[in-house]
Structures are given as C-alpha cells and as structure tokens.
Amino acid sequence: MTLGEKIRALRKEKRYSIMNIRELTGLSKSTISEIENDKSSPTAETLQKIANALEVTVDTFFKDDDHDESLSQQNIEFTTPQEAMEFILKQPSIMGYGGFDISKMSDEEIVEFANELLRQLQLISYKYKK
C-alpha cells in the first residue's frame, strides 16, 4: 500500500471526508487529494498535520500491513539494481533532497546506495522505537 493509499484508508476508516481533513489541517483540498493519489510527496510537516488530524502517529503511514516487524528487526539487503532502485524511488524524502544523479550511477553504486540508505533507516527505526 502506498503512502497515499494508506492515508486515504485511514481517513475513510475514521469516516472523514477530504473537507474534514482540510478543516483540521489547514491544507487545501487539492493538496490532500494529490497526496492521497500519490501525485505529490508531502513534507514532514504536512504528514504531521495529517497524522494529527487522523489521530495517529506519522509512523503509522509507513507500517507494512503484511508484516508487523519494525524495519530494524528485518534482515533485508538488496542484491539487484532493480530492487535497489525501486526502494530508493519509494523514499520521498531521499528523492526530494537528492543532490545525486541516479542515471550516472553504476548498478553496483545503486545497490550500495540503497543498502546504505536501508541501514540508516534501520538505525533511526531502532532509536525511536517505543
């Protein structure tokens, strides 16, 4: 489930309309719609506003429905450039801050980058796990 799909599902579970979320967050209807349709990557501040409106924590949006394990408990490592690239592109904050040109990276560099990114996320996940 994508980030937008998760937000929409939680909103509907709470029986909120987009207009309810607009009123609770101060975000525009189009911004909320674009996020729910994965046409826009929300900032951390926007995610926090939506989480507050839905009465959940931001990490709720990133929990895997099929697996209740935290990222820090998973033993994942990428071995192919395709799976590494898919992972990198699913990280909105990484793509937003970028500063790198993936098209100029070798397959080995892409796999190395994705695995390093995953290790950093695992460290953060462990540190803030409650």
pLDDT digits (tens, 9 = 90+) for 54-80: 998 887 887 765 444 444 445 567 788
- The verdict on pTM exceeding 0.85 is no
Beta-carbon contacts of 55 under 8 Å, excluding residues fewer than 6 positions away, are: 14
What is the predicted pLDDT for the residue at 36? 93
- Tell me the per-residue pLDDT of 79-91, one tens digit each, with 9 for 90 and over: 887 777 777 666 6
Q: Where do the domains of the chain lie, and which CATH numbers do they carry?
A: 3-62 (1.10.260.40), 71-128 (no CATH)
Task: Measure the CA–CA gap between 28 and 104, rounded to whole angstroms.
Answer: 37
Q: Is 66 helix (H, G, I), strand (E, B) or coil?
A: coil
What is the C-alpha separation between 64 and 61, in angstroms, rounded? 9
Q: How far apart are CA 69 and CA 66, in angstroms?
A: 9
